Amino acid sequence: MPLEAYLAVAAVLFVIGLTMVASRRNLVYVLMGLELILNAANLNLVAFNRFHPESHVDGQMTALFVIILAAAEAAIALAIVLNAYSHFETIRPDDIDTMKD
């Protein structure tokens, strides 16, 4: 398969992730969108690693670290969402917006 095919999949995933975050329908969706963005970056890294054999294991290794960091980030983010839910009784980002100029 040409490299572009993998890049196209990654790019579309990235944009889907972005739209999920931008649509702001509810916080769990937003966080899922973030996971998609990280996965898109991972697919890019891994595909490029395959096509740049001189870089040894760099891309694969980075993807590995990104997966670990994604897990840590998801844990913190979900804890914050739960915390916000216990204060606001909602998880629509537009309703959790009390601070204004």
Partner 1 sequence: MATALFYLFGAGALFSAANVVFRRQAVPAAIWLVTCFFFLAGEFLLLGFPFLAAIQIMVYVGAIMVLFLFVIMLLDLQAHQPIQSQFRHSIGGALALVLVALAFVAASGGQALEAENQPAAPEISALVEALFTRYLLPFEVTSVVLVAAIVGALTLGRSPGGSDHPAKS
Partner 2 sequence: MPELTYFEHLSYILPEVAVTLGLCLVLCWEMFSRRQDRTAEARRARGMETGILSLGFLAIAGVLLLIRFSWNPATVFGMVEVDRFGTMFKLFITSAVAVVIGFDLMDRRAQDDGRSETYFLLLTAVLGSYFLVSSYNFLLIYLGLETLGLASYALSGMHKRGRASAEAALKYVVYGALASGIMLFGASLLYGLSGTLQVDEMAGHIVTAVREGRSVQVALPTLLILVGFGFKLSFFPFHWWAPDVYEGVPTPIATFLAVGSKGVALAAFLRVLAMAFAGIMVFDDPSVGILNEPTPFLANLGGTLAIISAATMLVGNLAALRQTNLKRLLAYSSIAHAGYIMMGVAVLKPSGFEAATLYTFIYYFMNLGAFGMVLYFANQTGSEDIGSLKGMGYSHPWAGVATIVFLASLTGLPPTAGFAGKWILMMEAWDGGLGWLALWTGLMSVVSLFFYFRIAKMLFLRQADQEIAVVRTPILSGMLVVLAVFSVVFLYFDPLLDLAKTGINDLFY
- Judged by the rule CB under 8 A, the positions of this chain that interact with partner 1 are 1-17, 19-20, 23, 25-26, 28-29, 31-32, 35-36, 39, 42-44, 46-47, 49-51, 53, 56-57, 60-61, 63-65, 67-76, 78-83, 85-86, 90-92
Whether residue 46 contacts residue 63, with contact meaning beta carbons closer than 8 Å, is answered with: yes
72 binds partner 2 (CB under 8 A): yes
Question: Minimum CB separation from partner 1 for residue 75, in Å?
Answer: 5
Furthest-apart CA atoms within the chain: distance in Å = 53
Question: Minimum CB separation from partner 1 for residue 98, in Å?
Answer: 18
Q: Which amino acid does the sequence have at 54?
A: E
* Structure tokens that stand for 58 in this block: 């760099």
* Structure tokens that stand for 9 in this block: 């999949």
